[in-house]
């Protein structure tokens, strides 16, 4: 499959397709629509991650919308003076809300190399009550503390409105890696990660079916915002078999085979050893000891990758 530059597509159309998703159960419908917006790419949802939240807006006592974004509203209404804001709305009975989030990761191969894939992130947001906007017994020091206080009585997270879906990000991973290398040099560990996949029995499976790039925005010393990322397992790690320290020989060989079979691709235990806490380094060391004693249960190319890791260990 030839690589495709997905940034030539109509981003607003893509945003609309994602934002109009009515319910999580309708993801197959989203995948079908993506085929019209991004022809030539076959997306599948491989991971959903929840447990995060961000600040929301402001609603009145009847949960009617006062402001979509509390930070923008507070800056506008206070004119930089938090005391003015407290005086103006002290008796209004308003609530601050927060957005409880879940991120859905959809991936599609766009070439033959492990890093040749496109990653689409769609956020599932539920706005809930967070706290009373103003408490007479609490005086924030500044606007920043007013908008997102660390120590403040929280309310039961009662939903405010319906769940909604929001387009977050579309990224062609080869382009992202090239931009990172041009600006900051090669990420040696991450390059080895992709090379190890290509050089091992894992290469029979597309990496993007089992791993995504967990991305976050950072600001460098020059004030420039950029994306950094690391591999995140798409497979349910907690459901994979345990690999107990102390196994060796036939028992360890069988345990590794069962792990790979549960993960759905060869040499899976190695990549989880590098990028998750599911497989301790001691497992790799024991496999190397077995190999040194002549007990060979790894394919030759996997043994080569493991020995190279032992010579220069890394985490992606």
pLDDT in tens, 142-170: 999 999 998 888 999 999 989 999 999 99
Span 126-149, average pLDDT = 94
Query: Per-residue pLDDT tens for 235-249?
Result: 999 899 999 999 999
Span 182-201, average pLDDT = 92
Residue 8 is predicted with a pLDDT of 57
Residues 6+ apart with CB under 8 A from 131: 95, 96, 149, 152, 153, 154, 155
Residue 180 is predicted with a pLDDT of 86
Query: Per-residue pLDDT tens for 84-105?
Result: 999 999 999 999 999 999 999 9
Name the region of 291 (left: φ>0; alpha: ψ -120 to 50; beta: rest).
alpha
- Residue 293 is classified by DSSP as T
Highest-pLDDT range among 5-14, 134-143, 279-288:
279-288
Determine the 3-state secondary structure of 4 from DSSP.
coil
Structure confidence at residue 9 as a pLDDT band (50, 70, 90): low
Determine the 3-state secondary structure of 212 from DSSP.
strand
Residue 222 is predicted with a pLDDT of 82
Structure confidence at residue 3 as a pLDDT band (50, 70, 90): very low
Q: Is the pLDDT of residue 6 over 50?
A: no
Residue 2 is predicted with a pLDDT of 41
Span 204-233, average pLDDT = 91
Query: Per-residue pLDDT tens for 55-73?
Result: 999 999 999 999 999 999 9
Torsion angle in degrees (nearest 10) through CA of 49, 54, 58, 64: 0
Share of the chain above pLDDT 90, in %: 75
CA proximity to 82, closest of 144, 135, 154, 137: 144
Span 217-227, average pLDDT = 83
Span 294-314, average pLDDT = 97
Higher pLDDT: 186 or 66? It is 66
Q: What is the mean pLDDT of the chain?
A: 92
Q: Which residue has the tokens 């459901």?
A: 239
Domain residue ranges of the chain, discontinuous segments joined by +: 6-171, 186-316
Q: Is the pLDDT of residue 5 over 80?
A: no
């Amino acid at each position: 499959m030839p690589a495709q530059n997905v940034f030539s597509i109509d981003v607003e159309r893509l945003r609309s397709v994602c934002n109009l998703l009515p319910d999580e159960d309708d993801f197959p419908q989203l995948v079908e629509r993506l085929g019209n917006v991004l022809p030539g790419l076959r997306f599948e949802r491989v991971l959903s991650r929840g447990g995060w939240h961000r600040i929301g807006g402001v609603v009145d006592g009847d949960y009617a919308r006062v402001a979509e974004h509390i930070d923008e509203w507070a800056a506008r209404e206070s004119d930089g003076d938090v005391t003015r804001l407290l005086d103006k709305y002290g008796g209004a009975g308003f609530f601050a809300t927060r957005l409880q989030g879940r991120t859905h990761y959809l991936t599609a191969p766009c070439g033959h190399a492990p890093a040749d894939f496109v990653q689409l992130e769609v956020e599932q947001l539920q706005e809930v009550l967070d706290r009373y906007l103003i408490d007479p017994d609490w005086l924030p020091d500044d606007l920043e503390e007013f908008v997102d206080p660390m120590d403040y009585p929280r309310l039961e997270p009662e939903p405010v409105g319906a769940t909604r879906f929001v387009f977050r990000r579309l990224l062609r991973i080869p382009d992202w890696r090239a931009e990172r290398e041009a600006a900051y040099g090669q990420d040696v560990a991450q390059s080895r990660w992709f090379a190890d996949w290509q050089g091992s029995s894992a290469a029979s499976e597309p990496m993007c079916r089992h791993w995504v790039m967990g991305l976050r925005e950072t600001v460098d010393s020059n004030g420039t915002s950029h994306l950094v990322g690391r591999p995140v397992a798409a497979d349910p790690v907690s459901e994979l078999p345990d690999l107990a320290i102390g196994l060796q020989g036939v028992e360890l060989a069988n345990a590794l085979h069962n792990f790979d079979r549960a993960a759905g691709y060869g040499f899976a235990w190695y990549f989880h050893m590098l990028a998750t806490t599911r497989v301790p380094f001691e497992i790799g060391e024991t496999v190397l000891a077995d190999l040194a004693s002549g007990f060979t249960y790894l394919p030759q190319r996997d043994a080569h990758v493991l020995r190279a890791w032992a010579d220069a260990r890394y985490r992606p």
